[in-house]
Amino acid sequence: MRIRTIEDYHEAYKDSIEDPKTFWAAIAQEFRWKKPWTKVLDWSFDDYNVKWFRNGKLNITENCLDRHAENKPNHPALIWEPNDPEDEPEIITYKVLLDRVCRFANVLKKHGVTKGDRVCIYMPMIPELAVAVLACARIGAIHSVIFGGFSAQSISDRINDSQCELVVTTDGAVRGAKNIPMKETVDDALVACPSVKKVIVATHTRTPVSMIKGRDYWWESEVKHVEAECPAEEMDSEDPLFILYTSGSTGKPKGVVHTCGGYMVFTSYTFENVFQYHPGDVFFCTADVGWITGHSYLVYGPLLSGAITVMFEGIPTYPDAGRLWDIVDRHKVNILYTAPTAIRSLMGFGLEYLEGKDLSSLKVLGSVGEPINEEAWHWYNDHIGKGKCPIVDTWWQTETGGIMISPLAGITKTKPSYATLPLPGVQLELVDENGSTIEGNGVNGNLCITYPWPSIIRTTWGDHERCKSTYFSTYPGKYFTGDGCMRDEDGYYRITGRVDDVLNVSGHRIGTAEVENAINSHTGVVESAVVGYPHDVKGQGVHAFVICEEPQDEDSMMKRDILMTVSRIIGPIAKPDKIQIVSGLPKTRSGKIMRRILRKIAEGEYNNLGDTSTLLDPGVVDEIVKGAKEL
Ligand code: PRX
The protein residue whose alpha carbon is closest to atom 26 in ligand 1 is 395
The answer, yes or no, to whether any atom of ligand 1 lies below 6 A from the CB of 540, is no
- Average pLDDT across the chain, whole number: 96
- Rounded CA-CA distance 542/102 in Å is 43
- Expressed in angstroms and rounded, the spacing between residue 418 Cα and the centre of ligand 1 is 13
* C-beta of residue 424 within 8 angstroms of C-beta of residue 23: yes
The answer, yes or no, to whether any atom of ligand 1 lies below 6 A from the CB of 366, is no
Handedness of CA 329, 330, 336, 337 (dihedral sign): negative
User: What is the rounded average pLDDT of the residues 460-470?
Assistant: 97
Give the mutation target among 495, 500, 502, 506 for probing the ligand 1 site: most ligand atoms within 8 A of CB: 495
Q: What is the pLDDT of residues 367-420, one digit of tens each?
A: 999 999 999 999 999 999 999 999 999 999 999 999 999 999 999 999 999 999
- Rounded CA-CA distance 177/26 in Å is 49
Going by C-alpha positions, the residue among 434, 354, 344, 447 that lies closest to residue 404 is 447
- Rounded CA-CA distance 201/199 in Å is 6
- Rounded CA-CA distance 468/422 in Å is 24
User: What is the rounded average pLDDT of the residues 89-113?
Assistant: 98
Q: What is the pLDDT of residues 529-573, one digit of tens each?
A: 999 999 999 999 999 999 999 877 778 899 999 999 999 999 999
Contacts of residue 200, Cβ cutoff 8 Å, sequence gap at least 6: 107, 108, 111, 166, 167, 168, 169, 216, 217, 218, 219, 222
Q: What is the pLDDT of residue 1?
A: 65
As beta bridge partners, residue 186 has none
**Ligand 1 atom index nearest CA of 394:** 26
Which of 25-29, 165-169, 547-551 has the least mean pLDDT? 547-551
Going by C-alpha positions, the residue among 363, 161, 348 that lies closest to residue 244 is 161
The answer, yes or no, to whether any atom of ligand 1 lies below 6 A from the CB of 482, is yes
What residue ranges do the domains of the chain occupy? 61-418, 508-630
Q: Is 327 helix (H, G, I), strand (E, B) or coil?
A: helix
- Looking at 3.30.1490.20, 3.40.50.11540, 2.60.120.10, 3.30.300.30, the CATH number of the domain 508-630 comes to 3.30.300.30
- Expressed in angstroms and rounded, the spacing between residue 210 Cα and the centre of ligand 1 is 38
Confidence band, pLDDT 50/70/90 cuts, at residue 67: very high
Number of Cα atoms under 13 Å in the Cβ half of residue 161? 23
R_g (Cα) of the chain, nearest Å: 24
The answer, yes or no, to whether any atom of ligand 1 lies below 6 A from the CB of 483, is yes
- Rounded CA-CA distance 379/396 in Å is 23
**Identical fold between 61-418 and 508-630:** no
- Looking at 3.40.50.12780, 3.30.750.24, 3.40.1640.10, 1.10.150.120, the CATH number of the domain 61-418 comes to 3.40.50.12780
- Rounded CA-CA distance 99/114 in Å is 19
Quick check: pTM over 0.95? yes
Confidence band, pLDDT 50/70/90 cuts, at residue 618: confident
